[in-house]
A and B are shown apart, each in its own frame.
Chain A
């Protein structure tokens, strides 16, 4: 009965979404406000019904109702409660419902928050949001319904269980964060379409769009960072980014979104680049839908892919629909979006932002092209090829380094025009620090990308430090404040600017972490109890091998003593080899999984993987990796998030507006 109610809620939401669009379209034609209010309430009802359907599915998962095919596929009685909830987004239909759920949360917030302040735009905003909801409602109602009953003549006693790779705490947060980012771009997109349709783009619109963009961009960033963290902790290959098609799918909208975060500052401050920013918003939203297409079409092989399905053409159709409608509107509104002001000089901060935009877009294209190239090549040549991580590194490392350079150059340029004198003055110290770093690194025999990356990192950090120092000194002089008060007030008075600088510090530290990859070392070996092996200056001794049966897996646990070069014991690592679904009568269902153990230091990780066990010979096989500087990727990530949160809080001045 309960699954039927869930299905009915989705049916009703589908019907009401069509009613919403019709009512609001008539309101736009006739100007009758009663139609608007009815449409707005219908839109809210669509969201409430979507919430209800999601809660019904969550409840079915929690109580292990295996009469529902989705529940039987993605959970079992042994699945821990937390992962029964996360199973909501583990499968095709559940994750589409989850997408709809998040979009509905955003829809309710956007409608209630702006119903008075943005009255003129709201009909269009609601139409766009509801159209996107309608698309997902079509999918969950007619293509892949999460409430479909199990196709079995007998009572299903137990479900298949959740993929062990997804049974990880990070996996409970990473997908929702990504969805919050991906889905969230719908709102600034809706406001942009509304602004173009109504030819209305005031300061309040700007503020609304900027805050939404910043928030969803932050969510997407957190989602991507957590994805890297999960891959590093769970997949057991010692890396965090594999240029997998689905990772790329999340990275592409992040790149155009980041370009937008920069160029929208020019629109906010100078009322310029409106046309370009619209293009970026449209592309970013389209890339979010395109990313979902990549995951669900089955055209790419990826660790993240859902099973190949008929969803591909439907998603592709929706992508083309968005592009055609948006760009047609953009074409008709090109005069409205034309800027009156002009960029005055090549050496201005505005130009710096534009160069940054071009580089971000080129990088996005490189990722897009590389991701799709196997499909294109197969269509053209009829031969299957692979474009793997080494290719993406080849193309994107130089582009990334150019972006790092621009991160340092940008703050040194002045709005409107930077004279030669001031350019020389501003660049003098950071360039000197960069050159000094390069020289020292060169003496220590570092070359190539490592040398360039560390040099640029020191250059950028110096520019940011100088920016802070100058701001603080200026306040100390003009306001007679001490250092701490000046620093605090400087941050408070202009959160977006100094928050942005903190984000840049985070990015630099992440680059330092990425560069550390060049110094990685690893070794694979087999050990019997009591035997020892060495890697770099560390000794690994297998102390003990034990076994343990747990509710949803069987584990072989190694106690691996780690000693430094002085023979001092540092720690005992406990990597595990687990067999999930070990009680399954079908041997093919039993799934081996390596649970890592990592010893973390500020400057390196010692990463132990229990690869395999030969129970007859009593030999355990390990892969040990020493990953220098990897933790700076995560530290940089925290700082990045902290900086964005600072920028997200409105300044006093803004809140008065």
Chain B
């Protein structure tokens, strides 16, 4: 009997922790439909917070709740756009720019370093100087 009570208490406790996490997660994923400047979690929106809580307690999943609000407010309610169709460009464009930037840099460095080797076949670089001596050399230049 004690075991049953313990298990029931634990499941209730963990159930409520999971529910709280789910509520937080949903509140962080939805924009507050008043001034649209922050999520329900950050900005606060008592009406939506209560609705979300009761829907979670009624056993609805995150997807069901999110879809419910998309039906009411449109896609604008989602803090992160749905990653499909043109929206994928939101993630893709910075990645493309990063690839282009790094490619340009690598090509520039390749051409620059090869030309530099042609110009200066006997390296006078600092590679042969130990690091400590390099620092001392730089500091002496300042004195």
Binding site for B on A (CB under 8 A): 237-239, 242, 244, 301-303, 342-346, 351, 354-355, 358, 361-362, 365-366, 369-370, 373, 377, 380-381, 383-391, 394-395, 414-419, 422, 425-426, 470-471, 474-475, 477-479, 490, 493-494, 611, 623, 651, 653
Contacts and interface: CB of A to CB of B under 8 A. Distances in A.
Interface of B: 28-29, 31, 35-39, 42-44, 74-81, 85-87, 89-91, 93-94, 97-98, 101-102, 105, 108-109, 112-113, 115-117, 119-120, 123, 125-132, 134-136, 139-140, 142-143
B76 A345 contact: no
A419 B128 CA distance: 7
A208 to B, nearest CB: 22
Contact of B37 (A302, A342, A470, A474): A302
Given A383-B75, A471-B135, A417 B94 contact: no
Contacts of A362: 94, 97-98, 101
- Describe B's contact surface by its main secondary structure: helix
B85 A342 contact: no
Given A385-B87, A425-B130, A470-B132, 20 more contacts: A237-B44, A244-B37, A244-B38, A342-B115, A342-B116, A343-B108, A344-B123, A346-B109, A346-B113, A365-B97, A377-B86, A387-B80, A388-B80, A389-B39, A391-B79, A395-B91, A417-B125, A493-B139, A493-B143, A494-B139
15 contacts: A237-B43, A342-B116, A344-B120, A362-B94, A365-B93, A373-B89, A377-B81, A381-B85, A390-B79, A391-B79, A391-B90, A416-B126, A419-B128, A474-B132, A493-B143
Given A301-B35, A377-B86, A383 B136 contact: no
Nearest to B104: A358
Nearest to A355: B105
Nearest to B103: A358
A342 B31 contact: no
Interface centre among A354, A386, A391, A493 (most CB of B within 10 A): A386
A470 B125 CA distance: 21
Contact of A385 (B76, B109, B116, B123): B76
A342 B113 contact: yes
Contacts of A381: 85-86
A425 B129 CA distance: 12
Nearest to A345: B113
A357 to B, nearest CB: 8
A148 to B, nearest CB: 28
Contact of A345 (B35, B37, B125): B125
A302 to B, nearest CB: 6
Contacts of A377: 81, 86-87, 90
Contact of B86 (A351, A380, A395, A653): A380
Contact of B81 (A344, A346, A361, A387): A387
Contacts of A386: 31, 36, 75-79, 81
A479 B136 CA distance: 11
A389 B79 contact: yes
A417 B91 contact: no
A391 B125 contact: no
B126 to A, nearest CB: 5
B113 A474 contact: no
Contacts of B77: 386
B42 A395 contact: no
Given A343-B109, A362-B101, A385-B75, A303 B127 contact: no
Contacts of A653: 142
A493 B142 contact: yes
Contact of A384 (B74, B79, B93, B102): B74
A387 B119 CA distance: 50
B76 to A, nearest CB: 4
A362 B100 CA distance: 10
Interface centre among B29, B87, B127, B134 (most CB of A within 10 A): B127
Given A369-B93, A414-B126, A474 B44 contact: no
B35 A303 contact: yes
A387 B38 contact: no
Interface centre among A237, A238, A344, A394 (most CB of B within 10 A): A344
Nearest to A347: B127
Contacts of B136: 474, 477-478
A358 B80 contact: no
Given A475-B139, A478-B136, A416 B125 contact: yes
Contacts of B90: 369-370, 373, 377, 387, 391
B113 A301 contact: no
Nearest to A242: B38
A242 B37 contact: yes
A145 to B, nearest CB: 29
Contacts of B38: 237, 242, 244, 388-389
Q: Which 7 A-B pairs have the closest CB atoms?
A: A388-B79, A419-B127, A417-B125, A342-B116, A366-B94, A358-B101, A493-B142
A237 to B, nearest CB: 5
A366 B112 CA distance: 28
Contacts of B117: 344
A209 to B, nearest CB: 22
B68 to A, nearest CB: 17
Contacts of A244: 37-38
Contacts of B108: 343, 354
A281 B108 CA distance: 21
Contacts of B102: 358
